[in-house]
Amino acid sequence: MEEKKTVFSGVQPSGALTIGNYIGSIRNWIDLQDDYNCFYSIVDLHAITVPQVPKDLRKNTLDLLALYLASGLDPEKSTIFIQSHVSAHAELTWVLNTMSYMGQLSRMTQFKEKSKRSEENLNAGLFTYPVLMASDILLYQTDLVPVGEDQKQHLELARDLAERFNNRYSETFKVPDPLIKKVGARIMSLQNPESKMSKSDNNENGYILLLDSPDIINRKIKRAVTDSLGQVKYSDEQPGVKNLINIYSAFSRNSIEEIESKYEGAGYGQFKKDLAEIVIEGLRPIQTKYDDYMKNKDYLKEVYKGGAEKAERVARKTLRKVYKKVGFIPR
Ligand code: TYM
């Protein structure tokens, strides 16, 4: 039997999740579970690169685990774990830090944006954040990384670091490929379709959260920015409408063409009404299951403990190889 290929991905537990996170990443993880050996992490080490209130971080971490499960991740099929439970992530990061060029790290778009936003808290963790992400991926000998468009540059760094290490020492890491979907890899703000949908947006009408109530979803979609052309067309001239079509397509699994022809001649009113309904119905089962999981903390604990054990075994094996190759004496 051919061995299954490996998938790795993660989300930061830094607050409520948007439908951008869901469409760009988690939703795509579900289908991979049967055919791949999947590792899905809650990346709490990444989250502390911006200041976190400890009790909120604890809550957000469990919240995210419940959302993973409610979205359809299955601990029987995939390894679901909390990043800080597997210390190899931090350890490999140190080694890879010594092989990362300051120049390359300072060209990372996300770092440039974040450093503009938080000049007074420009910590070193924010700068080496992509190296930690590379460690996440490389520890598991990952073949594929399903992410949204905004992570592409970080993936390139992970590939560079794998190749650099392999060239300097000898074949150690698999060089991972990104898995970025054509539709939905970049969901934009509902208020400003030029910028990506993000939970750090100051205007809460710009994003829809996975746990938003039907009323709120209705209101946010009704207020979403469109244009004066009045046609449901997937075109760069209509970025607001294009974004809404992407969301429609992601939740209904209808193709862009199907959506365009369905709304030919119709105005934005009907389209938005239907879209709100589709999003509300799409999120409803997730919200219900989320509530159930949050009531069962013992089960959540069982899942993250089991996941950490499985992840640890794989990660340690890679780290042992790395330590040996760089010349550390085994204990
Ligand atoms: P994070 O937590 O910012 O986002 C999680 C995932 O959601 C995707 N995403 C989006 N997709 C489409 N449209 C949007 N508006 C949108 N906003 C966010 C992101 O692309 C991501 O896939 N560094 C990562 C977490 C991470 C990771 C990893 C990912 C850490 N280690 C290893 C993959 C592999 C991050 O900050 O994602």
Tens digit of each residue's pLDDT (9 = 90 or more) over 271-312: 999 999 999 999 999 999 999 999 999 999 999 999 999 999
Please report, rounded to a whole number, the percentage of residues in the chain having pLDDT higher than 90: 91
Strands 5-11 and 36-42: parallel
User: Mutation test of ligand 1: which of 7, 17, 18, 43 has the most ligand atoms closer than 8 Å to its C-beta?
Assistant: 43
Instruction: Please report, as a single letter, which amino acid is at residue 48.
Output: I
Rounded-to-integer distance, Cα 245 and Cα 254, Å? 10
Report, as an integer, the average pLDDT of 157-166: 98
Atom of ligand 1 nearest to the CA of 151: 20
Termini Cα distance of the chain: 36
pLDDT on residue 2? 72
Atom of ligand 1 nearest to the CA of 154: 23
**Could you count the other beta carbons within 10 Å of the beta carbon of residue 77?**
14
- What is the dihedral sign for C-alpha 224, 196, 49, 78? positive
Q: Give the CA radius of gyration of the chain.
A: 21
pLDDT tens, position by position, 141-160: 999 999 999 999 999 999 99
CATH superfamily of 6-184+296-326: HUPs (3.40.50.620)
Confidence label for 117 from pLDDT (cuts 50, 70 and 90): confident
Q: Is 196 a catalytic residue?
A: yes
- Cα 210 to Cα 44: distance, rounded to the nearest angstrom: 19
Choice among 77, 199, 233, 321 that is catalytic? 199
Q: Tell whether domain 204-291 is in CATH 3.30.1300.10.
A: no
Q: How far is CA 240 from CA 188, 196, 206, 277, in A?
A: 8, 12, 11, 18
pTM of the model: 0.96
The Cα–Cα gap between 254 and 234 comes to 13
Residue ranges matching CATH 3.40.50.620 in the chain:
6-184+296-326
Residue 119 has pLDDT above 90, yes or no: no
* Secondary structure, 3-state, 267-281: CHHHHHHHHHHHHHH
Q: Which of residues 182 and 313 earns the better pLDDT score? A: 313
Q: Closest Cα partner for 318 from 168, 109, 142?
A: 142
**Which residues form the pocket of ligand 1, taking CB atoms under 6 Å from any ligand atom?**
8-12, 20-21, 23-25, 43, 46, 133, 136-137, 145, 147-148, 150-151, 185-187, 196-197
| Phi/psi at 108 (5° precision) | -70, 120
Decide if 182 is catalytic.
Answer: no
pLDDT of 1 reads 60
114 is catalytic: yes
For residue 120, pLDDT over 90 is answered with no
Give the integer Cα–Cα distance in Å for 165 and 172.
7
pLDDT in tens, 197-206: 998 889 999 9
